[in-house]
Amino acid sequence: MQVLRLADIHVPTTLVAEQAAEAAAAWCSKALMEHNHRAYLWAAARGADMGIAFDEELLYVAAMLHDIGLVTAFDNATMSFDEAGGNVAWMFAAGAGWPVERRVRLSEVIVRHMWESVDPAFDAEGHLLEVGTAIDISGRDPDLWAPALRAEVLAAHPRLDLVAEFTACIRDQARRKPDSSAAAAMRGGMADRIAANVLDRAGTDTGADAVG
C-alpha cells in the first residue's frame, strides 16, 4: 500500500477557495490560520485513505472558516462559536455566489466539526473536518496518519502558539456561554487533551526522521 505524502493531497484552487483563504487570513491569527490549513490537509488525507468521495472545495472552504466564530470580530455574544461561524460562512458563500443549498451545506459542515463524531455516510465533509480538527486540536488517533505525512504537514504549517491561543479562546467561550459546544468540550477534558497533543512533542513522535 502506497503511503500518502503531502504532495499527494490536492488543495483546491478555485476562486471561491482562494477567497475563503484570503478572508480567513484577514481575520485569523497566524497560528489559527495554520490550524485551518492543517485541518484541511488532515481531513483530505483521511478521505483519500478511506476512499471517501468528498467535495474538495466545500471541505476546503469549511476548513478555512470553521473557527471564524472565535475571532473577536465575529464572536457572537450568546451563540456557540461553531454555529456563529457557520452563519458567517453562509454569508461568505452567498457573496461568492453559491446557491442556498450549498451555503447550508457549508454551515452544516462547520457546525458538525464540533460533534463528538460524524458518520461519513451521513455527512462526508462533516466527518472529515471533524476528524481533521480532532487530531490537530486534541491529538486524537494520530496513527491514522502516517508519521512521514504528519512531519511534512507540520513542517509546512507549523503549530506556533496554537496551544495557548486556542485553549484561551475555548476557556473564554465556555465561561461566557455555558450551554455551548465549547463549554461541553471543556467539561469533557479538552484542555488536558490539547496540552498532551502528540503533534506538539519534539523528536520522533511526529515521525520527523521518516522524512528524507
Looking at residue 135, which CATH number applies to its domain?
A: 1.10.3210.10
Residue 130 grid cell: 471533524
**207 found inside a domain:** no
**pTM passes above 0.75:** yes
Contact between 86 and 62 under an 8 Å Cβ cutoff? The reply is: no
Q: Under DSSP, is residue 121 helix (H, G, I), strand (E, B) or coil? A: coil
Q: Find where cell 488536558 sits.
A: 192
**151 found inside a domain:** yes
**How does DSSP classify residue 111?**
H
**210 found inside a domain:** no
Residue 134 Cα distances to 144, 180, 207, angstroms = 12, 18, 19
pLDDT at 204: 37
Q: Find where cell 479538552 sits.
A: 190
**206 found inside a domain:** no
**Residue range of the domain that includes 187:** 8-200
Q: How confident is the prediction along the chain (212 residues), in pLDDT tens digits per residue?
A: 568 999 999 999 999 999 999 999 999 999 999 999 999 999 999 999 999 999 999 999 999 999 999 999 999 999 999 999 999 999 999 999 999 999 999 999 999 999 999 999 999 999 999 999 999 999 999 999 999 999 999 999 999 999 999 999 999 999 999 999 999 999 999 999 999 999 998 543 444 333 32
**140 found inside a domain:** yes
Give the alpha-carbon dihedral of 22, 129, 109, 77, to 10 degrees: -70
Question: What span, in angstroms and rounded, lies between the C-alpha atoms of 148 and 146?
Answer: 5
Long-range contacts of the stretch 103-108 (C-beta < 8 A, 24+): 105/58, 106/58, 106/61, 106/62, 106/65
**How does DSSP classify residue 54?**
-
**72 found inside a domain:** yes
Question: What span, in angstroms and rounded, lies between the C-alpha atoms of 146 and 132?
Answer: 14
**212 found inside a domain:** no
Ramachandran assignment for 189, one of left (phi > 0), alpha (psi -120 to 50 degrees), beta (any other): left
**1 found inside a domain:** no
| Domain count for the chain | 1
Question: What span, in angstroms and rounded, lies between the C-alpha atoms of 114 and 110?
Answer: 8
pLDDT at 201: 86
Q: Where are the beta strands (DSSP E) in 14-141?
A: none
User: How many Cα atoms are found within 13 Å in the side-chain-facing hemisphere of 157?
Assistant: 20
